[in-house]
Amino acid sequence: MRTLLSFTIGALVGTFCLKSYYFQRKFMPLTPSFDRVSILPEQAPEESPGGIVLPDGARPDPLRGKVVGVGRNVEIAPGSIVYYPESQGHLIEHEGETYLILKADEILAVVS
């Protein structure tokens, strides 16, 4: 009986780990470590409010983005829209997308 119980618990834990791994791979393409979050920045506007097309060098840096991955002990949920300060974090290229990795403490606000 004890062997069957340990096998059943082991199978359940293994299934949970596989589901957790699948969830991370499908919904969190880049999982940061410790207290960091990975953010997919919004695209900078291509036109000014007056309708003038802006060249790449004149476009403002985005200060808002979507959280796509969180580290351990971070209270921000993936999928949240956040504001972050200018020139913070590290830009990382992963699978054709550019992500911003920064500490959760550096996030200014979460849009609800």
Which stretch of DSSP H or E encloses residue 15?
helix 2-27
Q: What is the pTM of this model?
A: 0.65
Question: Is the CA virtual torsion 61, 64, 70, 73 positive or negative?
Answer: positive
Average pLDDT estimate for 1-23 = 46
Strand partners, 100: 39, 91
pLDDT digits (tens, 9 = 90+) for 42-90: 887 788 888 888 887 777 777 899 999 999 888 998 999 999 998 788 8
pLDDT at 36: 93
Domains observed in the chain? 30-111 (2.30.33.40)
